[in-house]
Structure 1
Amino acid sequence: MVPRPNSPAGANQAPIVVVKVGTSSLLKGGTSGHLHLSNFGMLAETCCELQRRGMRCVVVTSGAVGVGCQVLNKKKPQDLAGKQAMAAVGMVRLMRMYDDFFQSVGQPVAQVLISLDNIMDRQQYMNAQSTFRSLLAQDIIPIVNENDTVAVQHTKFGDNDTLSAHVAALVDADYLFLLTDVDGLYTANPNTNPDATRISVVENIDDLEVSTDDAGASGLGTGGMATKLSAARLAAASGCNTVVMHANALPDLSDIILHQKSVGTLFLAMPRPLRGRKRWILLLPPSGDLVVNANAARAMETNKSLFSTGIVACRGDFVAEDGVRILTIDSETGDERDLGRAITNYSSEEIETFIGKSADEFYEIVGYAGAESIAHRNNICCWIPFGQEPSSLNLAGMTGGSD
């Protein structure tokens, strides 16, 4: 059985695999077509095979809106209420198909609906984590989708690539497979550029210089290659390897995990991933931005707190204890780089008055004795934890052992 290299001591050593299935992989021909039955069957057989080999699977599904449109023979609505109605109709048919196909191979499944509110609330996050652990311990495969019928626009994941990365972090997954209608990340759009080549391994997403033009997105999907890169970054910081691949390559999942078969594009996990509360902070949607100088960026990457003297700019409208995005300026290009996430000790209004000031001046500015730091190191999470990047040189050791 494959060991779990990123698991803490004493944890269940069964590898956890999250498989995200896109709308284009579940529907043929859009609303005028039909369900892709062969892909449903292939997914059920593949997940059952992984379970048989000692792994645990989670399926994150798209397609509720698309299937709803197909059932009612309507075009995809543009308004939120219309999409939610289509999702409510489509999810019934979608779960019926999942249950039928997985039961045909003797594999029980469970439906799990998640909203961004569940992730933002620490207690709900931990409750969801416990539910997943209980299901996986009983060899039940969770079928996960966003709770579209109750989510509002500003509290939606936006796409199921992002949802799948959150789920991968939530369950401490070892692999996240993003199934789509293209066979990986290319240097350019292969449909329009004959010189485009597939990238087999990505060590650091920030080093990529590629086009993220959609190479085959259907009109019913919400994601594209850009969302997959964002999902891979989130999963990598959580210690999860991500593979973007064509849905037709589903039978190769075992060989990818067990024998490092090169299929699609593999995004390597960070060697020292974030855990516990720090991982949860990284999942929080940012309410604003803090731009910091190079010295502050280096300090935070080595697990130091953020002080007002290191802040260059503050953007957005947020209050104390909100999550914010930490940005820094690239010294070579002058471009902004996304460093990570943090929970602030002060509001945006207060921070704007603190820029360039020392902590000794805080009392005179706000009228009370607050924290010395803008964000404490325990509330700061960088995309590259501890400044240690992954390397393909260690690829052979990621999944040692026999099957």
Structure 2
Amino acid sequence: MTKTDISRSNLLENVRRVVIKVGSAVLTTADGLNPKAINRLADQLAELSSRGLDVVLVSSGAVAAGRQRIFERTSRKQHNGKDMASRQAASAVGQGRLMHDYDEAFARHGKVTAQVLLTRSGLKLRERFLNARNTMERLLEWGVIPIVNENDTVSTRELEFGDNDTLGAMCLGLVGADLFVNLTSADGVFDRNPDGNPDAKPIPVIEDIASLDLEAMCDGKTSVGTGGMYSKLRAARRAAQLGVPTLIVSGKGEFDIIDVLTGGAGGTLVLPEDRVVSSKKFWLAYHDNPSGAILVDGGAANALMTKGTSLLPIGITGVEGCFDRGALVFIKTADGSELGVGLTNYSADEICRIKGKRTDELPAIMGPAPSDVAVHRDNMLLDAAI
């Protein structure tokens, strides 16, 4: 879909597959999971499925569900730790409870669900990513509604995706979705954080999300989630790069997702970019956190941004961090401005040896060189939303 084809009234016309992300602030209360919220969500998504759409749900709530279950048996004070091990343990307890509640809620509409637990490291290898894609494709062919969450128990960073907004954006490329719906506790996006600015104005449509200063707009997080509006807008910007529109809308109260998707009021529609990146470039840019940075001079920066060239050693001025061949790295100018990210053909130590050198000088320095270029243009995404 292009921008000219998209309005709130025709949002569903060309959609065959939708990823819907729901946050902890929508699904939980101070006491744990909210059964009414889960049943209401299942009602809405079952209706979308019955209309012929493939539905993928990315759901938070496992940690809150686990703590609720533990507190039923022991004191809240004893098990209210917020360290990583406590969160992972609570998630291990809560995943089963969360899926049980979803299973029952969707079964009322004759819908079958499947639990899909992902880790960023699990999607890092292209072969595993493609295998996960094949599995998801088969589930959707069977009419099953996949319910996706991060595999918190084995994640090695807190947490690898950082938040389920990021995971939701990754799922867009994983399943080839046409629409991203992010259900949150806020009624869309405002020009300033409404928590501290009572006069903040809602933004019904964002036409060019890449032009926005997201950090200036968003300075708060919800109390029970790990995201906040910043992560939702960053996920929407990534979706826009794939050519996928995003609807950020409240999932609280008696919301009606069908009404919102067919022209109803509320929420914010983020339009896709005109220039769409390939799913492979999307995957390589966002499958991992960058391990370091390659610094380039003005000539190289201009060639990358205006001519679509690969990054040659002669344009490199330095490195930041320590990384191996094949690592995802930032590409920056000397003043720290980020141009994009890419997969490097050389380690940090090797780049220090070949920086500023012509291609014909590499064999004398390196012997058999792995490549004439430091980062190939096919393995690079400029203006990445990291």
Is the CA contact 2:323–2:348 (under 8 Å) kept in the aligned structure 1?
A: yes
Corresponding position of 2:380? 380
Corresponding position of 2:286? 283
Corresponding position of 2:47? 49
Change (3 A) 1:156 1:55: same
Counterpart of 1:263, as a letter, is G
Query: 3-state SS of the aligned residue for 2:149?
Result: strand
Give, in whole Å, the separation in 1 of the partners of 2:384 and 2:253.
30
Give, in whole Å, the separation in 1 of the partners of 2:17 and 2:383.
22
Give, in whole Å, the separation in 2 of the partners of 1:105 and 1:90.
24
Change (3 A) 1:254 1:138: same
Q: How far 1:120 moved relative to its partner?
A: 0.3
Counterpart of 1:191, as a letter, is D
Give, in whole Å, the separation in 1 of the partners of 2:312 and 2:368.
17
Query: 3-state SS of the aligned residue for 1:112?
Result: strand
Query: 3-state SS of the aligned residue for 2:266?
Result: coil
Query: 3-state SS of the aligned residue for 2:309?
Result: coil
Is the CA contact 1:234–1:383 (under 8 Å) kept in the aligned structure 2?
A: no
Query: 3-state SS of the aligned residue for 1:158?
Result: coil
Is the CA contact 1:323–1:344 (under 8 Å) kept in the aligned structure 2?
A: yes
Give, in whole Å, the separation in 1 of the partners of 2:356 and 2:252.
55
Is the CA contact 2:33–2:64 (under 8 Å) kept in the aligned structure 1?
A: no
Q: How far 1:103 moved relative to its partner?
A: 0.6
Residue among 264, 269, 293 paired with 1:266: 269
Query: 3-state SS of the aligned residue for 2:19?
Result: strand
Residue among 179, 203, 214 paired with 2:220: 214
Corresponding position of 1:162? 166
Residue among 290, 296, 310 paired with 1:292: 296
Corresponding position of 1:304? 309
Q: How far 1:139 moved relative to its partner?
A: 1.3
Give, in whole Å, the separation in 1 of the partners of 2:265 and 2:295.
38
Residue 189 (structure 2) pairs with residue 185 (structure 1): yes
Give, in whole Å, the separation in 2 of the partners of 1:322 and 1:199.
38
Corresponding position of 1:401? none
Corresponding position of 1:323? 328
Counterpart of 1:378, as a letter, is D
Q: How far 1:310 moved relative to its partner?
A: 2.9
Is the CA contact 2:32–2:64 (under 8 Å) kept in the aligned structure 1?
A: no
Residue 341 (structure 2) pairs with residue 341 (structure 1): yes
Is the CA contact 1:25–1:247 (under 8 Å) kept in the aligned structure 2?
A: yes
Give, in whole Å, the separation in 2 of the partners of 1:58 and 1:203.
25
Change (3 A) 1:34 1:277: closer
Give, in whole Å, the separation in 2 of the partners of 1:204 and 1:325.
23
Give, in whole Å, the separation in 2 of the partners of 1:372 and 1:221.
45
Residue 319 (structure 2) pairs with residue 314 (structure 1): yes
Counterpart of 2:60, as a letter, is S
Give, in whole Å, the separation in 1 of the partners of 2:250 and 2:80.
24
Q: How far 1:79 moved relative to its partner?
A: 2.4
Counterpart of 1:177, as a letter, is V
Q: How far 1:341 moved relative to its partner?
A: 2.3
Corresponding position of 2:175? 171
- Give the alignment's TM-score, normalised by structure 1: 0.83
Is the CA contact 1:119–1:283 (under 8 Å) kept in the aligned structure 2?
A: no
Residue 112 (structure 2) pairs with residue 112 (structure 1): no
Gaps of 5+ in 1: 7-12, 386-403
Residues 46-55 or 120-129, more deviating: 46-55
- Give the alignment's TM-score, normalised by structure 2: 0.86
Counterpart of 2:377, as a letter, is R
1:78-132: CA deviation from partner (whole Å, max 9, x where unpaired): 3222211100111111101100101112211111010111210111100000011
